[in-house]
Structures are given as C-alpha cells and as structure tokens.
Amino acid sequence: HLVRIELAGAMSRGELELHYQPLFDIASNHITACEALARWRHPERGLIPPNEFIPVAEESGLIIPLGAWVLEKACADAARWPIDAAVAVNLSPLQFRNSSLVDTVAKALAAADLRPDRLQLEITESVLLDDSAGNLATLRALRQLGVRIAMDDFGTGYSSFGYLRSFPFDKIKVDREFVRDLPDSPESLAILRAVVGLGQSLGMTTTVEGVETQDQLSAVRTEGFVEAQGYLLGVPVPNAEMVKILHGHR
Ligand code: G
Ligand code: G
Ligand code: MN
Ligand code: NA
C-alpha cells in the first residue's frame, strides 16, 4: 500500500539512513565492529524501523537496489571511521539469492577502498533456507572476496547445526532469546556453553546480542563468549555519533 509506493521514492529522496550499533570484544572491551541498521526518516512519520519497510522492500523487489545502497553506504562510512573496526551488514533472503550479490559486494568494497576483511555479512537461516549447492557457491564466492560471514540469530531456526557443518562461518551470533533470561536460566546457560564449545572446535568467533544488564554480560563473559552487543554496551546511533564514539575509543 502506501509504504510500498513511498519507499520507491524514499531512496532517491535520500530518506534512508544507516545507524550503527557497536560489538565489543568482551575481554579487551574494544569495539570490533559496528552493525549497520537501516532506518527510514519519513518526513511526516519520523524514524521508521526496518521491520516496517524491509518486508515491503522484499515483496516488491526493491530490496535489491536498497540492499546495494546499504552495502555501498556501510562500506563508505566504515572507510572513514577513525579506527579500523569492521562493519556488519544484514542480508535479506532475496538479496542473497540474487545473482548480482557477489558483484555488488565487490563493487561496494572497491568504491569505498575498504579492506574486504572489514566487511562482515550477517546471514540468517531464513536466508539459506535450504542447504543447496547454489547457497554454498555464493557463500564461497563471498569468502573468496575476503569478507567475513556471520550466522545471525543462531539457534532460532530448524537446521542451525546443519549449516555449521556445510559452511565454515567466521562467526556464530546467538539469538538474543538465549540471553534474555540470564543469569537465572540453567537451560539458556547450558545452550550458551555448548555454543562456545562449538565455536572453539570449529574455529568460529562466538558473539551474543541483546545484552541489556551487567549480570547478563558477566554470565556470557564467564561462559567464554568472544563478543557482545546490546543496549547495555551501546544502542544504534547515526553515523556521525558513531564516529564520535569511535574517536573516544582510540
Ligand atoms: O534495527 P532493528 O533492531 O529495528 O532491526 C530489526 C531487524 O531489521 C533486524 O532483524 C535487522 O537484522 C533487520 N535489518 C536492519 N537493517 C537491515 C538491512 O539493511 N537489511 C536487511 N536485510 N535487514 C536489516
Ligand atoms: O536480527 P538482528 O540481530 O539483525 O537484530 C538487530 C536488532 O536488534 C536491531 O534492530 C537492534 O535495535 C536490536 N537490538 C540491539 N541490541 C538490543 C538489545 O540489547 N535488546 C533488544 N531487545 N534489542 C536489541
Ligand atoms: Mn543482525
Ligand atoms: Na540477530
């Protein structure tokens, strides 16, 4: 409806923005990466969150140009950050299956002159859906470019383990649902402990998201997670603000 029609013009009017949320190395307290999170600054309705327009963009096919814009903007922003933190970009299923993805990523890196290992692509199970040869080929081609690949929202889908067996992800990002009821849930703790073990055995960075309290942070630190993200450590902010945070972080 309205959103779909307006979204087409929103990009050309420059109403889309990227906000950034930091990821911290738990041991050193250093920012390792910032996740790009799209927002639509609507002239009348204010800041519209991605879950209200990304699905619309997917249905209409607009996600392809929108996703390309996100990649270009994220790489350009990261190239100008005062520290060489990585930038993490979320990929939609349609974007992942589009034949131009690898080319789009390569062009975004080249245009920004960003070192490929400073780009992390966050992929959920819904992006992979099936364990097809095509998916694997795309992941391998992206890896060949030198970018890092993270499995996002780990533990919420049907075949999390199957994907870990099929492809060597660089990072496992556990879904926030396993952090929410810490430190009082023995079940969540047991699952988190198993993920740390998996990460160590498979050589993947282990990351938690949704850390909102000091107790949650202590619990995931004790379990041995490498990275943490969440409102306790930093909320999503516009790029200009993230640049200030990164300056103070040098
Ligand atoms: O920022 P927020 O927590 O409201 O994001 C909600 C959801 O939207 C998250 O699942 C996030 O991965 C997704 N999202 C945010 N930005 C992008 C984007 O640029 N592309 C895609 N495909 N998803 C995004
Ligand atoms: O699905 P994905 O992991 O990409 O989701 C990112 C979304 O999570 C962002 O929209 C961001 O606003 C949200 N988020 C980030 N930190 C927290 C947190 O500590 N608690 C909650 N509830 N949401 C968070
Ligand atoms: Mn994500
Ligand atoms: Na996630």
Q: How far apart are CA 75 and CA 173, in angstroms?
A: 21
Structure tokens at 85: 């933190």
Q: Which residue of 17, 19, 21 sits with most ligand 2 atoms within 8 Å of its CB, as the best mutation to test the pocket?
A: 21
User: What does R_g of the chain's alpha carbons equal in angstroms?
Assistant: 18
| Residue 102 Cα to ligand 3 middle (Å) | 19
Pick among 3.30.70.100, 3.20.20.80, 3.20.20.450, 2.30.110.10: CATH of 2-248? 3.20.20.450
* Among protein residues, the one whose CA lies closest to atom 21 of ligand 2: 210
What's the pLDDT tens digit per position in 206-225? 999 999 999 999 999 999 99
- For residue 68, the tally of other CB atoms under 10 A from its CB is 19
Residue with the two structure tokens 């993270």:
150
| Interval 135-187: pLDDT, tens | 889 999 999 999 999 999 999 877 678 888 888 899 999 999 999 999 999 99
- Which ligand 1 atom lies nearest to the CA of residue 124? 12
ipTM value greater than 0.85: yes
| pLDDT surpasses 80 at 37 | yes
For 128-182, give the DSSP string.
H-S--HHHHHHHHHHHHHT-EEEEEEETSSS-HHHHHHHS--SEEEE-THHHHTT
Residue 127 is which amino acid? V
Across 33-47, 57-71, 74-88, 153-167, least confident range: 153-167
Kindly report the CA angle at 120 between 116 and 124, in degrees rounded to 5? 145
Task: Output 22 or 164, whichever has higher pLDDT.
Answer: 22
Domain ranges of the chain: 2-248
Nearest CA residue ID for atom 22, ligand 2: 210
Distance 127 CA to ligand 4 centre (A): 13
Cα(162) to centroid of ligand 2, in Å?
A: 25
